Structure 1
Amino acid sequence: VRDNDEESVRLLIAKEGKDILDKRYGYAARTPFLLAAEEGHVGVMKVIHERKPDVLKQTDEYGENALHWAAEYGRLAAVNQLLSWDPKLIDARGKRGNTPFIMAAGNGHVDVLEPMYAEGGEKLLTQTN
């Protein structure tokens, strides 16, 4: 996933099965899909999503989804892809009260804020805890 190698991801899923997409790795116990979103690897995200569409529901140990990760790291193409799959991802609040919009704003990713603002992200600027 980190190498942005779509073919290797396809082969690994074929060999190991879709359950490998639920495995957790490293910091925040992220899945391969969350890692791909963090890195902005849209092609890998598409491969994973095609094989297992419910990856959009995955969260890390802090309750943050793929849109949180893409927004935090300013991955515009990944943000756009995630919003096209499910605009409601923007409504998610992690265990710390952060929305993807807050994550992007806090890291100065103005270009990423624009598509989220268009989806109603401005109402999500308030942190809950």
Structure 2
Amino acid sequence: MSEPFPHPDDAAHPRRRRRRRWPWVLLGVVLLLAGGCAALVIGIAHETDKTVKVVYEVTGDAKTVNIAYSTWRDGSLVTESASSQALPWRKELSTKGFVKGGLLAVTIGGGGGSATCEVTVGDDAPRTARATGADATATCTGF
């Protein structure tokens, strides 16, 4: 078997070595991910550095209620409580290091009645819930 003759243009145009593109694509993806992570960390740090006003309110005709609510201390979520409270009840605090995931739970005492809880964080729309009857609980979450 004879070998084919080289094409006359082969000598004039030596084959170029193809450059691989995947390392550059991979580098681009890594840089995008790193930039996105950095932006997320900066955004979270900015959110936890600003002071936020949190207002808790409980209204209704129940004679007494037990209340549990979240507060924030140094970026940590802490639950506090107030037992046998008369209505209306209001608690307002300004906090630095606000973390989403707060709670306001109101349990109506044995005397029955109704109670409505409401939580407002900064300029956000309030979260509300209502309970009726002895030992019923209204829970405001998602703030």
* TM-score in terms of structure 2 length: 0.23
Flag the structure with more relative contact order, 1 or 2, with Cα contacts below 8 A and sequence separation at least 6.
2
Choose between structure 1 and 2: higher strand proportion: 2
TM-score, structure 1 length as denominator? 0.25
**Which one has a larger percent helix, Structure 1 or Structure 2?**
1
User: Which of the pair has more CA radius of gyration?
Assistant: 2
